[in-house]
Amino acid sequence: MSLSGSLRAAVAQFGGARDDYDDYETGEYESPARSAPGRDDRPLALVRPRRVKFALVTPQDFDDAQKIADHVRAGDPVIVDLQGCDDQLRKRLTDFFSGLAYAVDGGVESVGEQVVLLAPPAVELSSGAGGEPHRRGFLNQA
C-alpha cells in the first residue's frame, strides 16, 4: 500500500474526509517546458574568448612599418622594440604609430625605454596598478 493509500485509510477510520483529489494518483505527470516559449531546443554553445596573440617586431628600416600595421589591422597587439633603430628612424616610426593608432581607434603606449605597445581597438590598455583604463592619445617623443 502506498503512502497516500495509508493516509486515506487512517482518515477514513476517524470519520473520514471526502477525497476529491483521486485524479492525482491516476493521472500522468507532465513536466513543465524546459525552455521559454518561442525558443528552439538547440544545445547551448560554449563561448570562449579569443586568444590574444602578441606580435614582437624589431624594425630594421621604415619598410617594417607595413608589417606592424598589418598586425594591428588584424586585431593583434604589437610590441615594437626600437632599441636597434637610429634616432631618425625611431622618430619616423613613432609618428607612424601615432597616426596608425588614431586611424584604427587603437592605442599606443611606451612600455619601456624605446619599447612601444600598439593596441588595436579591441584591446584595452590600463595604466597603473589599479587597472583603470588608459586614456588613448598620441605618444610623446620627447
Give the pLDDT confidence of 30-67 residue by residue, as tens digits: 655 555 555 666 677 777 777 778 899 999 999 999 99
Mean pLDDT of the 126-141 span: 55
- The model's pTM is 0.56
Fold of domain 55-133:
Translation Initiation Factor IF3 (3.30.110)
For the chain, which residues make up each domain, given as ranges? 55-133
Higher confidence at residue 45 or residue 95?
A: 95
Q: Could you tell me where the DSSP H helices lie in the chain?
A: 3-13, 23-26, 64-73, 87-103
Higher confidence at residue 15 or residue 24?
A: 15
Contact 80, 57 (CB under 8 A): yes
Report residue 57: phi and psi, to 5°.
-125, 135
